[in-house]
Each structure stands twice: as structure tokens, then as C-alpha cells.
Amino acid sequence: MNTPAITIEALLQRDQLHWQVRMGRRCLTFNDEKTARAFAAQLHMRLLWLQHSSHPQDRAAPPDNAH
């Protein structure tokens, strides 16, 4: 599973600057750039965590204690 690209774009709507966080076809719009960047960072970290947790075979196997 590849992590989709997360982008932040500045939009001018009704003479006001807004910030849009986009992942594929989905997007959320924020009034504040700092809030948009914080959301994008949390989304990125969550997607990486989900990707890592969905592949348990990638983790190191526990040591064999059957001596």
C-alpha cells in the first residue's frame, strides 16, 4: 500500500485566503494555514501508522525460546 500524496494549496474564495488539504479526490478547507498544516501532518502520520500496522510480516519475529 502506497501512502497517497497529501498536498496543501492556497485558495482565494470570496476575497479571503483559505487553505485546502488534499489527499487524492478528498479535501478539507481551513481558514488558517497553521491549522491546515497541523491537520496535514497528523493525517500523514496516521496514514504511515496504518500502513505499518497493516503489514505485520514486516516486523521482526520474536526470538525462538524453544531450547
* pLDDT tens-digit series, residues 16-34: 999 999 999 999 999 999 9
* pLDDT-based confidence at residue 39 (cuts at 50, 70, 90): very high
Alpha carbons 15 and 48: distance in angstroms, whole number: 36
Residue 16 lies in a domain: yes
46 within some domain: yes
Would residue 12 count as lying in a domain? yes
- The average pLDDT across 38-47 equals 95
32-35 own/partner pairs: CB under 8 Å, 24+ apart: 33/8
pLDDT-derived band at 59, boundaries 50, 70, 90: low
Full residue range of the structural domain in which residue 35 is found: 6-53
Whether 60 is in a domain gets the answer no
Domain annotation covers residue 40: yes
| Band of residue 55 on the pLDDT scale cut at 50, 70, 90 | confident
User: How many angstroms separate the CA atoms of 6 and 35, rounded?
Assistant: 15
Tell me how far apart the alpha carbons of residues 57 and 45 are, in angstroms, rounded to a whole number: 20
Q: Quote the pLDDT of residue 65.
A: 61
In a domain, 20, yes or no: yes
Q: How many domains does the chain have?
A: 1
Residue 30 belongs to some domain of the structure: yes
- Report the pLDDT value the prediction gives residue 44, as an integer from 0 to 100: 93
